[in-house]
Amino acid sequence: MANILVTGCAGFIGSHLCEKLLAEGHLVLGIDNFDPFYDRSVKERNLSGFIAHPNFEFLELDLADVDLLQKSLKNKAIDVVVHLAGKAGVRPSIEDPQGYIRANIVATQNILDVMKEKGIRKMAFASSSSVYGNTKETPFHEEQDVSNPISPYAFTKKACELINYTYHALHGLDIINMRFFTVFGPRQRPDLAIHKFTKLIMNGAEIPMFGDGSTSRDYTYYEDTVDGIYRAVNYLFENEKVYETVNLGNNQPVRLTDMIGAIEAATGKKANIKQLPMQPGDVDITFANIEKAKALFGYQPKYSFDEGVKDFVDWYREINS
């Protein structure tokens, strides 16, 4: 049993991870600031299944407020940090780069400083496949040059990886950067394509298709991602002098047109597609080489894309019935 701090605990991935950690017998301290990027009630629903759990404690605070963060964590026992919190979304980051710098880079810097001061040695950090930019080399592997991000969101995640390395080198912190690849499933953020398209198709509304439909994403079902995070945390507990970056993807890109087709099959409804130009900051493909995560801690996705879409649509119907 360990004391685990989960930032972003009320979000899509964070809430599922907390449930997993509590089920495994850990003590979980969760932090979330209910960022207004989407409605607070969505995150409150995410928390509802475990907020009263005896091994769970919740703090509502902004990680970019370093004084409040230090004060709030002063007397908390923490063995490992799973840092999932941050502003997400490629397109919104183009409109608000400063907000992403504050919520991603400044917040991560503050977490690392608190770890250093409190003697917390271990962190699993949520990075993103966006750091790979529009590289033509696929599948993406961790040794590739990622110095050409094409959105503010991507550069903030790359910057955090660099800060993490500095704190590993200077202060001996053990850190794993986990590059997530388009995680989906029940509780997925309402702004993301599968959620948004399901809602529009179910309501008979037009869906926007950016580009010709040939762009591809390495969709990863949330249970596989959560399993990868859990394995990364265990790896941190079992090893010293760790600094690693790993892809947590599915290794099977899905074309945009095939994603729409899977939602049509799961909903039993035909999509009304409106084709639009490609959007600034979007990449053509994400495609994860996952051999390193397999070798380090046995990561192995189990869920097919079609299975995951069906599960998502079932959940969507349930919450909207």
Give the model confidence (pLDDT) of 55-93 as tens digits: 999 999 999 999 999 999 999 999 999 999 999 888 899
Rounded average pLDDT over 266-292:
93
Predicted confidence (pLDDT) at residue 294 exceeds the cutoff of 90: yes
Q: What percent of the chain has pLDDT over 70?
A: 100
- pLDDT at residue 321 in the model: 86
Rounded average pLDDT over 155-183:
98
- pLDDT at residue 58 in the model: 98
Cα 149 from Cα 100, distance rounded (Å): 14
Residue 100 among the catalytic residues: no
Predicted confidence (pLDDT) at residue 32 exceeds the cutoff of 90: yes
- pLDDT at residue 37 in the model: 86
Predicted confidence (pLDDT) at residue 177 exceeds the cutoff of 90: yes
Superfamily of domain covering 3-182+220-249+288-302: NAD(P)-binding Rossmann-like Domain (3.40.50.720)
Cα 35 from Cα 88, distance rounded (Å): 10
Give the model confidence (pLDDT) of 200-245 as tens digits: 999 999 999 999 999 999 999 999 999 999 999 999 999 999 999 9
- pLDDT at residue 282 in the model: 81
The phi and psi torsions of 194 (rounded to 5 degrees) equal: -65, -45
| C-alpha closest to that of 19 among 256, 187, 202 | 187
Per DSSP (E only), the strands in the chain are 3-7, 27-32, 56-60, 80-83, 122-128, 174-180, 183-184, 206-210, 216-217, 220-221, 243-248, 254-255, 272-276
Rounded average pLDDT over 293-298:
98
Mean pLDDT over each residue of the chain, to the nearest integer: 96
Of 100, 132, 153, 221, the active-site residue reads 153
**SS3 state at 6:** strand
Cβ neighbours of residue 5 closer than 8 Å, sequence gap 6 or more: 28, 29, 30, 31, 73, 76, 78, 80, 81, 82, 120
Predicted confidence (pLDDT) at residue 44 exceeds the cutoff of 90: yes
Predicted confidence (pLDDT) at residue 38 exceeds the cutoff of 90: no
Query: Are the CB atoms for 305 and 292 separated by under 8 Å?
Result: no
Predicted confidence (pLDDT) at residue 283 exceeds the cutoff of 90: no
